[in-house]
Amino acid sequence: MNITVIDTHCHLDFPEFDADRDEIIRKAVDSGIEYIINVGSSVAGSQNSISLADKYNCIYACVGIHPHDADKSTPDDVGRIRAMASHAKVVAIGEIGLDYYKNYSAQDNQKKLFEAFLGLSREFNLPVVLHSRQAESDTLSIIKEFMPIKAVVHCFSGDESFLQQCLDLGFYVSFTCNVTYKKADKLRGVVKAVPFDRIMLETDAPYLSPEGLRGKRNDSLNIIRLAEEIAFIRGTTAEEVGTITTNNAKRFFGKL
């Protein structure tokens, strides 16, 4: 199989990869993964993402702070992310957004941090990588205040109503290997409903390994398994899914 794909969202900087990070990246490239977008979820994680991007030609970085950490984030932290945003291999602000499912941080603090990063997106003309979990209404109402803005909803798990609202704003949606899960019929229905020019693929590694590997560490190699599943759902080939989603990612991130 001759397939080219891009893993648009993973966390290779996490300690789960400390033992074999170089090997995983090498295997990914050898398997046809053209680029990997390493997404920051903290100040330190964002800096480590940039360091990976500096080390590997195939890796680009996003910088941001996850909404889980909004309570302990300071204006200085936002300033540190701002200082990173102009790096040549930073392709987006993220992962940012709102998470009302776990509510590890107060919702008001999540909103303030989200707004601060949307402001950085506008300032640096960078797209945003959105995390939105059980916070669809607030996510959309806040981001509308900053439009026009380019965004992808990562690890999309919403219903078709939320999907349509995102599409109406020109957003992209990204799917992870959870579409392979036996009980993910509703999510697979959403995959069918997305216009092909708005889909991107991601692993969210080390999380969300595909069916058959659940409970084990995910990695970028499984993006090919995801492409195969999307192809099955859409009634096409993995090669076509790879080509289309790769072009979508290059159009969205711009610098690839």
pLDDT digits (tens, 9 = 90+) for 47-74: 999 999 999 999 999 999 999 999 999 9
Q: What is the pTM of this model?
A: 0.97
Mean pLDDT of 13-23: 97
- Would you state the pLDDT for residue 190? 96
> Smallest Cα–Cα separation from 117: which of 85, 153, 165?
85
d(CA 15, CA 104): 21
Q: How far is CA 212 from CA 17, 36, 124, 161, in A?
A: 20, 23, 41, 30
Enumerate the β-bridge partners of residue 42.
Answer: none
Residue 167 identity: L
Domain tally, the chain? 1
Residue 64 identity: G
CB neighbours of 18 closer than 8 A, spacing ≥ 6?
A: none
Q: What is the pLDDT of residues 211-231, one digit of tens each?
A: 999 999 999 999 999 999 999
- Would you state the pLDDT for residue 1? 63
> Smallest Cα–Cα separation from 49: which of 37, 67, 31, 33?
37
Residue pair 58/22 in contact (Cβ under 8 Å)? The answer is: no
Quote the DSSP letter at residue 210: P
Note down the domain range covering 216: 5-253
Q: What is the pLDDT of residues 121-163, one digit of tens each?
A: 999 999 999 999 999 999 999 999 999 999 999 999 999 999 9
CATH number at residue 185: 3.20.20.140
Q: At what angle do helices 223-234 and 238-253 cross, to 10 degrees?
A: 110
